[in-house]
Amino acid sequence: MIYADYNATTPCDRKIAERMLEIQCDEFVNPSNRASLSGRRARGLIDTAREQLAKAVGAYPDELVFTSGATEAANTIIYGVMQRLMSERPRILTSAIEHPAVCMPADFCAQSGADWVEIRVDNQGRLDMAHLQASLQEKPTALVCVMAANNETGVLQNIPELVRIAHDAGALVFCDMTQILGKLPFNVHTDGVDFACFSAHKCYGPKGVGAFYKRRGLSLSPLIRGGGQEENLRSGTENVAGIAGFGMAADQAAREVNQRKAKLQRLTRTLESQLRAHLPGLVIQSSEADRLPGTSMCSLPNIKGKWLAQLPGIIASSGSACASLQGKPSHVLREMGVEPETALRSIRISLGSPSTEAEVRAIASQMIAGAEKLGF
Ligand code: PLP
C-alpha cells in the first residue's frame, strides 16, 4: 500500500509515540497538583510543549490554548467571538471554501441570529477581495474566517492582505492554519491574524490534540467550562501526553520546515509532470495560484467512472474526509466552478515527509493506467 492522504492525517512519529507512552504511564500525576513534584513535572511538560508550539507558529506561549483538535479550536473561537460581539457586530464572514470545522459553527451562529456571508473564490480558489471588502462595508462584522491553506486543493490565501482589509473595517480575523504547519514557514504575528487553529495529527503528532492562538489582549468566552484549566479557556484535565506529543511534533516541524517544503515541491513536480505528459485534459486544481507543496487535486473533466476506484494499491481520497463520508461532491471544487460529476471523480494526492520518488512514480503510473481503463 502507498499512502498518499497526508492532508487527511499523518502517521504519528514513532519516537514521539514512544515518549508519549512513557508520559502516560510514568508522568501520570495531575498537572494541577502543584503541591507534588510529580504534578509540577507534568505541568512542566505542558509548559515545554506550549513553548515549542509558540516557537513554531511565531506566537508568545501565553497566546496558545491546547484543545482536542482544530475542530474544537475553531468552534471555541467562532462561538467565543460571536457570543461577545454579535449584538454590536452581527456579521460573520467565512471564505466559501472553509473546512466544515469552520463553516458548521458559522452556520450554527446564523441559526442563532448572526448574519453569515460566504466570500466567493475565483476558479483557482483565491478569495475575492472585492467581495470581502463590500461585505465588510455592508454591515458591522465581528469575525472574518479564512484558512491559510486549503486541505483539498492546497490553495494559499493572501493572509496579510485580507487582515489589512478586515482590520480597516474593525473586524477580527481567524485563520485556520491546520494544513500549513510544518509544510511552509509562517508567523502569526507577522501575518497579523487575531486567532488561529492548529492540529497535531496533521504534522506527525497524535490525533485528538490541537490548539488555538489568541492574540494577547483579546478576550474570548470559553466553549468548555469547568475546572478552569488553560487559563479558563478550555477546562478539563489536560491530555499531558498528547500535548507533549504535539509540542515535539511542532518543534520538529519548525526545525525541518524548509527541508520538508523542498522535498514536497520536488515530489509534486515529478507527480504532476508525469500525469500531464500522459493525460491531456488533466486539470490540477489551483495550479495557477500559490499552492501548498505536496497537494495535487487532479480532475479529468468528463471522466466516465470512479477514477479513485482504479487505484487499488494507493490510499488517496477524492477530497476531504467529510465530503467522502457523505458521498457528496466537494463544496470546495463546486465553489471554484467544477462540475459536480468531475468533482466527485477527482483524486487528491497529498504527500508527506515519508513519501518517496519511487512512490510518486508508482502513483502516477497507476493513475494513468486507471484513467486509460476509463477511456482516456
Ligand atoms: N481544518 C482543516 C483545514 C483541516 O484539514 C482539518 C482536518 O481535517 C481540520 C480543520 C480539523 O482538524 P481536527 O481533525 O484536528 O479536528
End residue of a domain, out of 219, 253, 287: 253
pLDDT tens per residue across span 275-284: 999 999 999 9
User: Does 320 have pLDDT greater than 70?
Assistant: no
Phi, psi of 144 (to 5 degrees): -115, 125
Do residues 216 and 185 make contact, with C-beta atoms less than 8 angstroms apart?
no
* 120, 169: one domain: yes
Q: How far apart, in whole angstroms, are the C-alpha atoms of residue 167 and residue 169?
A: 5
Residue 373, CA atoms < 13 Å, CB-side half-sphere: 13
Q: Which of 25, 175, 197, 322 is catalytic?
A: 322
**Within 10 A of 111 (CB to CB), how many other CB atoms are there?**
8
pLDDT score for 321: 60
Say yes or no to pLDDT of 369 above 90.
Answer: yes
* pLDDT, mean over the chain: 96
For residue 72, the ligand 1 atom closest to its alpha carbon is: 16
369: CA distance to ligand 1 center in Å?
32
The residue whose CA has the least distance to atom 8 of ligand 1 is: 8
Based on the domain organization, do 237 and 178 belong to the same domain? yes
Task: Say if strands 2-3 and 314-315 run parallel, antiparallel, or are unpaired.
Answer: parallel
Residues 230 and 285 in one domain: no
Instruction: Please name the residue whose Cα sits nearest to atom 9 of ligand 1.
Output: 70
CA of 101 to the centre of ligand 1 (A): 7
The grid coordinates of residue 247 equal: 509540542
- Which residue ranges have their beta carbon within 6 Å of ligand 1? 69-71, 99, 101, 147, 151, 176, 178-179, 199, 210
CATH code of residue 35: 3.40.640.10
- Of 253, 284, 301, the last residue of a domain is 253
| Helices and strands counted in the chain (H then E) | 12, 12
Mutate to test the pocket of ligand 1, among 67, 68, 71 (most ligand atoms within 8 A of CB): 71
Best probe residue, ligand 1, of 68, 199, 213, 322 (max atoms within 8 Å of C-beta): 199
Q: In ligand 1, which atom is closest to the CA atom of 199?
A: 15
- What spacing in Å lies between the alpha carbon of 34 and ligand 1's midpoint? 33
Percent of the chain whose predicted confidence (pLDDT) is above 90: 93
Q: Place 28 in a pLDDT band, splitting at 50, 70 and 90.
A: very high
Q: What is the mean pLDDT of residues 335-342?
A: 94
Question: Is the pLDDT at 196 greater than 70, yes or no?
Answer: yes
Amino acid at 283: V
Question: Distance, CA 246 to ligand 1 centroid (Å)?
Answer: 15
The answer to whether residues 215 and 276 belong to one domain is: no
- Do 58 and 72 fall into the same domain? yes
What whole-number distance in Å separates Cα of residue 98 and Cα of residue 239? 28
Q: CATH code at 272?
A: 3.90.1150.10
**pLDDT the model gives residue 323:** 61
Give the contacts of 32 (CB within 8 A, at least 6 positions apart): 39, 43, 227, 229, 237
Q: Could you tell me if 274 and 240 are in contact, meaning their C-beta atoms sit under 8 angstroms apart?
A: no
C-alpha 298 to ligand 1 mean position (Å): 21
Assess whether 322 carries a catalytic annotation.
Answer: yes
- Of the three residues 253, 284, 309, the one that is the final residue of a domain is 253
The pLDDT confidence band at residue 264, using thresholds 50, 70 and 90, is very high
170 and 219, same domain (yes or no): yes
Q: Which range is least confidently modeled, 191-195, 243-247, 252-256, 318-322?
A: 318-322
CB 166 within 8 A of CB 173: yes
* For range 67-88, the mean pLDDT: 97
Asked whether the beta carbons of 247 and 53 are under 8 A apart, the reply is yes
Looking at the fold, whether 267 and 242 belong to one and the same domain comes out as no
53 lies in the same domain as 202: yes
Measure CA 145 to chain center: 13
pLDDT of residue 163: 98
User: What percent of the chain is modeled with pLDDT above 70?
Assistant: 98
Ligand 1 atom nearest the C-alpha of 74 is 10
Q: Which residues of 310-349 are buried (b: 16+ CB within 10 A; e: fewer)?
A: bbeebebbbbbeebbeeeebbbbbbbbebeeebbbbbbbb
What per-residue confidence (pLDDT) applies to 327?
74
Same domain, 225 and 94: yes
Q: What is the model's pLDDT at position 131?
A: 98
The answer to whether the pTM exceeds 0.85 is: yes
State whether 20 and 164 are in the same domain: yes
Which pLDDT score, from 0 to 100, does residue 324 have?
Answer: 60
Domain count, the chain: 2
Q: Are residues 338 and 247 in the same domain?
A: no
The one-character DSSP state at 12 is P
215 shares its domain with 323: no
The ligand 1 atom at the shortest distance from the C-alpha of residue 149 is 3
What b/e sequence results for 234-262 when a residue is b if at least 16 CB atoms lie within 10 Å of its CB, and e otherwise?
beeebbbbbbbbbbbbbbbbbeebeebbe
Instruction: Residue 138: count other Cβ atoms within 10 Å of its Cβ.
Output: 12
Amino acid 325: pLDDT: 62
Q: Which residues span the domain enclosing 153?
A: 14-253
Categorize the per-residue pLDDT at 318 as very low, low, confident or very high, splitting at 50, 70 and 90: confident
